[in-house]
Amino acid sequence: MPLLKVHKLTKSFGGLTAVLNVSMELKQGELVGLIGPNGAGKTTVFNLLTGVYVPTSGSIILNKAGAEQELQGLKPHRICKAGVARTFQNIRLFKDLTVFDNVRIAMHKNVRYGLLSSFLHLPSYHREEKRISEATMELLRIFKLDGKKDEYAKNLPYGEQRHLEIARALATNPSLLLLDEPAAGMNPAETAQLTELIKWIREKFNLTILLIEHDMSLVMKICERIYVLDYGILIAEGTPDEIRSNKRVIEAYLGEDVGDA
Ligand SMILES: Nc1ncnc2c1ncn2[C@@H]1O[C@H](COP(=O)(O)OP(=O)(O)OP(=O)(O)O)[C@@H](O)[C@H]1O
C-alpha cells in the first residue's frame, strides 16, 4: 500500500484550472521530484496536499501504519497532525522569534500533557517541556544551528534560514515531507550540501519526500522518480533517465541539454 495516494486531483480558481486530474502515488521511503515550468501548478499541488486549498474534486489518501486517512478537505493543522509537513518557496519562518523557539513551537504539535497540567504546572508538564527542549536542541545540532539558538530567525543568513525551515518541518514528526524549491537562492556549494542533507534526513527520519525544484542537478541526483506537470496536467512520470530523454518533457520544460547529474 503506498504512503500517499492522490487520485484525480483538480483545483480551479474561477475560470482557471490550475491542476487537472492529477494522480500520483508515493511509496514509503521514496524521494520523488515534482517538476515543470513556472505556473504549471506545482505549488498548487502542495497547497492541496497540505489543506491550504480545498480540492475542487479528487482525493488524497495517506496511509499510516496500515490505516488510511482521507486528507482532502481537512484543515492544515489536522493534515500536519496526520503526518504531512512542508517548507515554502518563500521562506516563512517566525522571523521575530529565536531559532530555538521556531523549532520548539513546532514540537508542541506532539505534546503529551493536557491543558490542566500546563495551567497548574504539574510534574508531567515540566517533564514534557524538558523533553521538548532536548529534542529541539538535538534537531538544531543536526542542522548545525545549535550555536545560533538564541538568534532571531530573521538575522540568519539565507541558507541557514532554509535549513531552519526544514528543521521546523521535521519537528512536527512527519511521515511525508514536502519541500518547495529547497535550493532556491542557493549557490552551487550550498546546493550540493543541501542535496546530501536531504538524502541523509530521509534515512535518519524514515521519511518519504516529495520535492519541487527547478535545479535539475539536485533533482536528477537524488530523486528516484519524477512527475512532470505542464499547464496543470501530468505529462510524464519516470526515473531521472526516462524523464531526461522524454520528448514531451524536453519540449515543455527541460530543453535539449539539461539534467546531467
Ligand atoms: N490562489 C490562487 N488564485 C488564482 N490563481 C491561482 C492561485 N494560486 C495559483 N494560481 C494560478 O494557478 C497556476 C499554477 O500556479 P502555481 O503557483 O501552482 O505554479 P507553479 O508550478 O508552482 O509555478 P512556479 O514554478 O512559478 O512556482 C498559475 O496560473 C497561478 O497563477
Counting ligand 1 atoms within 8 A of each CB, the residue from 42, 52, 211, 230 with the most, and so the one to mutate, is 42
Is 13 touching ligand 1 by the criterion CB < 6 Å? yes
Residue 53 CA: nearest ligand 1 atom is: 1
Question: How far does the centroid of ligand 1 lie from the alpha carbon of residue 42, in Å?
Answer: 8
Question: How far does the centroid of ligand 1 lie from the alpha carbon of residue 212, in Å?
Answer: 13
Which residue CA neighbors atom 26 of ligand 1 most closely? 38
pLDDT at residue 109 greater than cutoff 60: yes
Residue 37 CA: nearest ligand 1 atom is: 25
Question: How far does the centroid of ligand 1 lie from the alpha carbon of residue 22, in Å?
Answer: 15
Question: How far does the centroid of ligand 1 lie from the alpha carbon of residue 180, in Å?
Answer: 13
Which residue CA neighbors atom 14 of ligand 1 most closely? 41
27-84 confidence digits (pLDDT tens)? 999 999 999 999 999 999 999 999 999 999 999 999 988 899 999 999 999 999 999 9
Where residue 117 falls among pLDDT bands split at 50, 70, 90? low
Phi, psi of 9 (to 5 degrees): -75, 130
ipTM, interface predicted TM-score of the complex:
0.95
Taking alpha carbons only, the member of 48, 63, 60 closest to residue 2 is: 63
Where do the structural domains in the chain lie, given as residue ranges? 4-83+174-254
Q: Which CATH number fits domain 4-83+174-254: 3.40.250.10, 3.30.420.10, 3.40.50.300, 3.30.565.10?
A: 3.40.50.300
Question: How far does the centroid of ligand 1 lie from the alpha carbon of residue 56, in Å?
Answer: 15
Is 42 touching ligand 1 by the criterion CB < 6 Å? yes
Residue 229 CA: nearest ligand 1 atom is: 21
Residue 44 CA: nearest ligand 1 atom is: 18
159-206 confidence digits (pLDDT tens)? 899 999 999 999 999 999 999 999 998 899 989 999 999 999 999 999
Question: How far does the centroid of ligand 1 lie from the alpha carbon of residue 30, in Å?
Answer: 26
